[in-house]
Structure 1
Amino acid sequence: MPTINPLPQTISSGLDYPLAYTAAGQGQGVLLIHGSLCDYRYWRWQIPALSQQFQVLAPSLRGCWPTTFSDDNPAYNIAQHAQDLIAFLRQQSPGQPVHIVGHSRGAHVALEAACTAPELTRSLTLADPGFPIKGEPAQPSFQRDVVQKIKAGDIEDAMRDFVDAVNGAGTWHQMVGWFKTMVKDNAYTLLSQIHEAALEFDLTRAERLNCPVLLLGGANSPARYGQRLDILESIFADVERTTIPLASHGMNLANPKAFNERLMRFFGERG
């Protein structure tokens, strides 16, 4: 089992919120941004591997465990999370840009942060981005039904429905205990997140980025993620794309060896 700090550090300077994070290693900075229903624990297979060559920073976004919002909170939103991380980087890595990695909803936060503060961005990695893009085929919404189950106290079924919807049918049943615990710990963040279900990203902002971009997709991810990567691949000037084999949406957990090796090669080449 990888060794990560079970009691994260906290930072409040420059923020109005005690941001919890774990840090390891030395060298160029790498910021890992988790997605929905997760926190810094999501990167348990990345922190030990990447920290052998880089300084890895893995925060829990505002409202996520260990200081989880338990109700519908307007401070839980993409723009706020991006601003939090910008302030975090300015304190943790002053004057030094970092490699920013975002998974799923975290890819939306990563892209927002990179566009808002490009001077902090050495490179940008987007893994199965979870945000809708204008022009994409409409996708049926499942989040409203999930939220109703949460409000009714049916957390287990709600988490099963959400995880299966973003990864594929039957995924929740296959998940290990620590992952299910993490997801349940963050279940009530969906009460806030539902308000951004149709929040699109303005791609004209992304077109102006001049940092290297790596797009990652799981070989078995639902088709909508691949369609989104197709669109993103066409707009960036300096872009690479890789499919992680033997993995679905949670590719960094399903095939951490391939995921980590691809990141380290990209960081090394673009450092």
Structure 2
Amino acid sequence: MQTLPVNGYDMAYLDVGRGPPLVCVHGSLCDFRIWSAVLGPLTARHRVIAVSLRHFFPEHWDGAGDTYSIAQHVEDVIAFIAQLDAGPVDLMGHSRGGHVSFRVAQRRPDLLRKLILAEPGGELDATLDPTAKPGAPSPLAARFAASAEKIAAGDVDGGLAFFMDALEGPGAWARLPATPKQLLRDNAFTLIGQVRDNRPPFSMSDAEAIRTPTLFIGGANTKGALPQVLHALAGHVKGSQTQMIPGTTHPMFEQAPQQYCEIVLRFLAE
């Protein structure tokens, strides 16, 4: 593990392999360790740089303060890539990290060569979803808020179980092995920050503004709003590609790492 001072914060990251740089941004309740299943195949051809965003492990944050937000994380990733001084990089983000990566591509396309979005998290505005109600929290966001309330009250496992079952279906937390459970515990208090995120919804103009060559990846069995967001954005990012991995859900690169890497490496080699 290494650190790089970014906007007054020491951002931790892993830097493995040689070749064109691929920066990886994790999602909610995760950190740079989440990419472990794909490091082997990806580092055969690329220098993989997996970051931990502000307040995620190895920091043990207590959820206090106002420095956890999409806007802050976007600024941090932009500054991190600029300080790498490695030329345009390939950027890959999963879930909330996909949202961060999307906003980086909006703001600083000059820093990027290609963009990979694995089920980017977020909401759609009325230009992409006519049923959207401005300011109304999604059912999933309401569940996340309830999870964060449990965590803040000291019931970390109860809050995480509520979160995972909302995302992956009843019993998801109970089915998780011990190692991924501990990774979630290590980042549990970031969920308190996330419910205060004020994350802007995606709009049609946002999607149409992306000019970086983009690949969308999804789990073919993912339920809920995530597939809707993926396909809505993909339909308006000019020239984008979409690949759905059969038999997988939201953590598709953990469930089918070989297939995921084949898709990514093929896209990066084009």
Residue 180 of structure 1: aligned partner: 181
Alignment of 1:152 onto 2:153? yes
| More displaced stretch, 24-33 vs 132-141 | 132-141
The residue type paired with residue 124 of structure 2 is: I
| Poorly superposed stretches of 4+, deviation over 6 Å | none
- What is the rounded CA distance, in whole Å, between the counterparts of 1:102 and 1:66 in structure 2? 19
Normalization by structure 1: what TM-score? Answer: 0.91
Of 93, 98, 101, the residue aligned with 1:107 is 98
- What is the rounded CA distance, in whole Å, between the counterparts of 1:198 and 1:92 in structure 2? 27
- What is the rounded CA distance, in whole Å, between the counterparts of 1:247 and 1:228 in structure 2? 17
- Asked if 1 retains the 8 angstrom alpha-carbon contact of 2:68 and 2:197, the reply is no
- Asked if 2 retains the 8 angstrom alpha-carbon contact of 1:127 and 1:217, the reply is yes
5+ residue gaps, structure 2 = 133-137
The residue type paired with residue 55 of structure 1 is: R
Shift in Å, 1:197? 6.0
| More displaced stretch, 187-196 vs 133-142 | 133-142
Pairwise CA RMSD: 1.5
- What is the rounded CA distance, in whole Å, between the counterparts of 2:95 and 2:2 in structure 1? 24
Written as runs of structure 1 = structure 2, the 5 A alignment for 1:1-271 is 8-12=1-5, 14-94=6-86, 96-135=87-126, 136=129, 137=131, 139-140=138-139, 141-196=142-197, 199-269=200-270
- What is the rounded CA distance, in whole Å, between the counterparts of 1:103 and 1:54 in structure 2? 18
Shift in Å, 1:198? 5.6
5+ residue gaps, structure 1 = 1-7
- What is the rounded CA distance, in whole Å, between the counterparts of 2:161 and 2:28 in structure 1? 13
Q: How many residues align?
A: 260
- Asked if 1 retains the 8 angstrom alpha-carbon contact of 2:98 and 2:119, the reply is yes
- Asked if 2 retains the 8 angstrom alpha-carbon contact of 1:167 and 1:250, the reply is no
- What is the rounded CA distance, in whole Å, between the counterparts of 2:183 and 2:63 in structure 1? 17
| Secondary structure at the counterpart of residue 217 of structure 1 | strand
How high is the sequence identity, in percent, across the aligned residues?
35
Shift in Å, 1:180? 0.6
Normalization by structure 2: what TM-score? Answer: 0.92
| Secondary structure at the counterpart of residue 142 of structure 1 | helix
- Asked if 2 retains the 8 angstrom alpha-carbon contact of 1:68 and 1:189, the reply is no
| Secondary structure at the counterpart of residue 103 of structure 2 | helix
| Secondary structure at the counterpart of residue 58 of structure 1 | strand
